[in-house]
Structure 1
Amino acid sequence: MSDKPASPFYRGYVLFILVVVYTFNFIDRQIVGILAVPIKSDLGLSDTQLSLMGGLAFALFYTFLGIPIAMLADRRSRTWIMTVALAVWSAMTAACGFAQNFLQLFLARLGVGVGEAGGVAPAYSLIADYFPPEKRARALSIYSFGIPVGSALGILLGGVLTSYLGWRAAFIIVGLAGLAIAPVFRLTMREPKRGGFDGDGAVTTPAKVSDVVSTLVQKPSFWGLSLGAASSSMMGYGLIFWLPSFFVRSFGEALPGFFAWMPDALVPANAGPVLYASYFYATVLLLGGIAGIWLGGVMADRYGPERKAAYALVPAAAFIATVPFFIVGVLANSLWIAFPAFLGLQALSLVWLGPVLTAFQQLVQPNMRATASAVFLFINNLIGIGLGNLIIGAISDSLKAVYGDESLRYAILSGIIFYVIAATLFIITAPRLKKDWAS
């Protein structure tokens, strides 16, 4: 552990390597979205089974192991924990490529969740110890770039590798790439002093479980922000998983025309709708996601220090603004209309990350930041990942007899209510943030 303040250059490297690891986190987490189409065909799965494999299988161990691992991170080396986590989830992603049936694939995805349980909460804590409070929202926003970048690369690599080598090779290649990053991360990432930017009164001695629980119980804003984020994540994760299938089913014949300008070198002769859908959605995720996350971080750092309620009101306004983009995008009959609509939807739906993650780091003392973050991730991901994919898939199956391949369109449309619920919870929570803020 180093007590010496890090140089601006090294802090920049810290953010870079953390973004790289988080990118692999989301590549391995979201690659199943684009691979769902060939997996369904090859293994003969239903939409509900795809939902269980893509959502609940990952969420079970990811959520339940996150809290004990984070408690360990509040006491031991966060960099070692993240190194082991990266190696485990990468190895299990590669194992997905060898699955021969639904059960084997489900168990491999459980393994991915086991590894990724130690990949995020320790990183939040590390960033809080490398950056002062007035820069944390932007730093956490930059870290969160791993979400759109990783999701986009997962969709893109999944589509390209599947087109050339098959879906099994896609899992194996991205898994091995993550394994190669693990030793680089361990050898170059230093453990910072806990609470180094939080003043002499910051508490850094390990907190007891009872202390963390009693602290969070007394902070209603923590629960309001957690439930609001979880509500939005039901659609966030649900869209990332199901939109590639939606584009293939509802726009399959139109996708090649949308990319008629693309050089032949980027489109193999046997290119199908899966590859075109991966290009389309990866672009939406990358451009819209980065723009929205950065906007949220900048606004939080600008307005939050003077008015704590801004950490909730900025995301609330963004969620309300998603409604028209959501409706237009899902109901569009033209890709030229759907593209800007989904771009706006993607940007607005991720504005919350910088403000909310910053608020969580300031609602508790430095000695319990990783654990508090893990409690948030438990709520957010158990509800968001565990239920979002499953609800959309189940609704799609129930509507299939009436709407055929278009059933997925209306299943997705029904989820707009969750963004409205998220906005409402953030608005209710906003007045409480000033009182709950940790000195």
Structure 2
Amino acid sequence: MPRSRLALAAASAAPTPAAPAAAGPRYAWLVFALTFALLLSDYMSRQVLNAVFPLLKAEWQLGDTELGALGGVVALMVGVLAIPLSLLADRWGRVRSLILMAALWSLATLGCALAGSFGQMFLARLCVGIGEAAYGSVGIAVVVSVFPRHLRASLSAAFIAGGAFGSVLGMGLGGILSAHFGWRMAFAGMAAFGLAMVACYALMISEQRLRRLQQRIGAGSEEAGSDAAMARQLAPRRIVRELLTVPSMLCACAGSALQLLVMAALLAWLPSFLARAYGMATGRAGVVAALLVLVAGAGMVACGALTDRVARHAPRRKWHMAIAYSLACCVLLMTAFRLPAGTAQLVLIGAGMLVVGGCAGPASAMVANLTRPAIHATAFATLTLINNLLGLAPGPFLTGVLADRIGLTGALQWIPLAGAAATLLFCIGRRHYAADLRRLDGQPMPHAVPA
């Protein structure tokens, strides 16, 4: 009797008792560290723009809508291209794909430093988005492939938190570099870091070593080390159909996206808000905003670890935790931006930032649990697509449009309402989760196409 897919997934994720204890885990953590470092570069290149918004606004006489477009175009390209590029990565090789992506966004960031007009900057930012399009989905697929299944929410949250930490570095260092050397040097510094990380990754990570590690932790599973070969045999149309007919997964993705809309708006506009509402200089506003984003990154990790602890023996509780995080964030931030500028407002903003990304780890764990390892990159690409089209892309742009009409503070008072919609979606997804897991366990494997 063939084993069910859930049994295969569990077997492929369980550690091997007879395997040598040192080599595997050390290399797994090296894979995580370097993949995480590239994610830092990804978000440093993406978010450095936010630190120099006031300088670009003054030099090129831009409105908030145009500034929001420069921030949103990256997420838009990520959303549009995430699935096709992840499908290619599943077939061509995830490590090679990651290296190529990182090289492209680093060179495009260098192009931002050389831009002489809004149009040139927009084109360079578009290329940054193309390079970053599939990195999150492919990177997280690499990470979860070399660790046991029960660590998925923690590792997913820690990995995704790299986006917040990268944003901290991008905004903080970008603000400091732009204050001392001009905004062009801020972009150049991010590009240099990215290219250095590309060289390290290319030297130390390979497809062959990943396969050996997957075989070691897979205890002889028939799925271990064969993800790319299996993915090449599956018809893309069947893969997409399989992913888009799971109600709980779609609810998890959409809820995560709406919560990320709030986070993206804050990442983009906190430096400008602090400059306008508190009269801070560009450098100081960038540093203070970076500290608030650091709180969001720490919150992502903490929320992911707490979710794993609470839901270890009751996976359904992941939904309860996601509901709690999104609802708390909505209440805290809507209250904060209705207070006058001062300590109380900053404390409530910080509290809201602590849980603004809390749903990321649970949502990623749900996606991983509801799909087979062979198509994890494509599954996470679906999450990335929805996150970007519903959340990361419209967040900065919608806030900019509202700011041009009702002021930036007014816009930030209404944006957290997206968290209420996220709460509703998580409630709906929770009702379908158990049935979707049973259906995944019982349905036959998709038909394969000739290799």
Q: How does 1:160-239 map to 2 (within 5 A)?
A: 160-191=176-207, 192-193=210-211, 200=221, 202=223, 204=227, 205-206=230-231, 207-239=234-266
- Identity %, equivalent residues: 27
Q: How does 1:424-435 map to 2 (within 5 A)?
A: 424-435=424-435
In the aligned structure 1, how far is the partner of 2:237 from the partner of 2:144?
23
In the aligned structure 2, how far is the partner of 1:303 from the partner of 1:211?
35
Aligned to 1:112: 128
Aligned to 1:382: 389
* Deviation string, structure 1 residues 280-325 (Cα, Å, up to 9, x no partner): 1111111x22331122222332233432322222111011111332
Aligned to 2:109: 93
Aligned to 1:276: 284
Q: How does 1:331-410 map to 2 (within 5 A)?
A: 331-399=338-406, 407-410=407-410
**SS of residue in 2 equivalent to 1:168:** helix
- Say if 2:299 and 2:354, in contact at 8 Å, map to a contact too: yes
In the aligned structure 1, how far is the partner of 2:244 from the partner of 2:194?
37
1:275 deviates by 1.0
* Deviation string, structure 1 residues 46-102 (Cα, Å, up to 9, x no partner): 1111111111x2133222221111112222321111011111001101111111111
In the aligned structure 2, how far is the partner of 1:129 from the partner of 1:59?
26
TM-score scaled by length of structure 2? 0.86
1:43 to 33, 52, 60: 60
- Say if 1:152 and 1:283, in contact at 8 Å, map to a contact too: yes
In the aligned structure 1, how far is the partner of 2:363 from the partner of 2:218?
19
- Say if 1:27 and 1:154, in contact at 8 Å, map to a contact too: yes
- Say if 1:308 and 1:434, in contact at 8 Å, map to a contact too: no
In the aligned structure 2, how far is the partner of 1:335 from the partner of 1:165?
31
- Say if 1:127 and 1:136, in contact at 8 Å, map to a contact too: no
409-418 vs 134-143, which moves further = 134-143
* Deviation string, structure 1 residues 31-53 (Cα, Å, up to 9, x no partner): 11111111111111111111111
In the aligned structure 2, how far is the partner of 1:232 from the partner of 1:99?
32
Confirm whether residue 147 of structure 1 aligns to residue 163 of structure 2.
yes
1:201 deviates by 6.3
Aligned to 2:415: 415
**SS of residue in 1 equivalent to 2:52:** helix
**SS of residue in 2 equivalent to 1:75:** helix
Aligned to 1:27: 44
- Say if 1:128 and 1:136, in contact at 8 Å, map to a contact too: yes
34-43 vs 194-203, which moves further = 194-203
CA RMSD of aligned residues (A): 2.0
- Say if 1:195 and 1:366, in contact at 8 Å, map to a contact too: no
- Say if 1:89 and 1:111, in contact at 8 Å, map to a contact too: yes
- Say if 2:260 and 2:357, in contact at 8 Å, map to a contact too: no
- Say if 2:134 and 2:381, in contact at 8 Å, map to a contact too: no
1:127 to 143, 151, 155: 143
* Deviation string, structure 1 residues 211-269 (Cα, Å, up to 9, x no partner): 212212331011111111111121111111011111101111xx4xxxxxxxxxxxxxx
Q: Which runs of 5+ in 2 are unaligned?
A: 1-15, 442-451
1:392 deviates by 1.0
Aligned to 1:259: none
In the aligned structure 1, how far is the partner of 2:57 from the partner of 2:348?
28
308-317 vs 176-185, which moves further = 308-317
After superposition, the Cα gap between the structure-2 partners of 1:296 and 1:153, relative to the gap in structure 1 and judged at 3 Å, is: same
**SS of residue in 1 equivalent to 2:337:** helix
1:168 deviates by 1.1
Aligned to 2:332: 325
1:338 deviates by 2.7
TM-score scaled by length of structure 1? 0.88
1:361 deviates by 1.2
1:339 deviates by 2.6
In the aligned structure 2, how far is the partner of 1:128 from the partner of 1:159?
34
1:326 deviates by 0.6
1:126 deviates by 0.8
Number of aligned residues = 409
**SS of residue in 1 equivalent to 2:140:** helix
Which residue identity lines up with residue 313 of structure 1 in the other structure? Answer: H
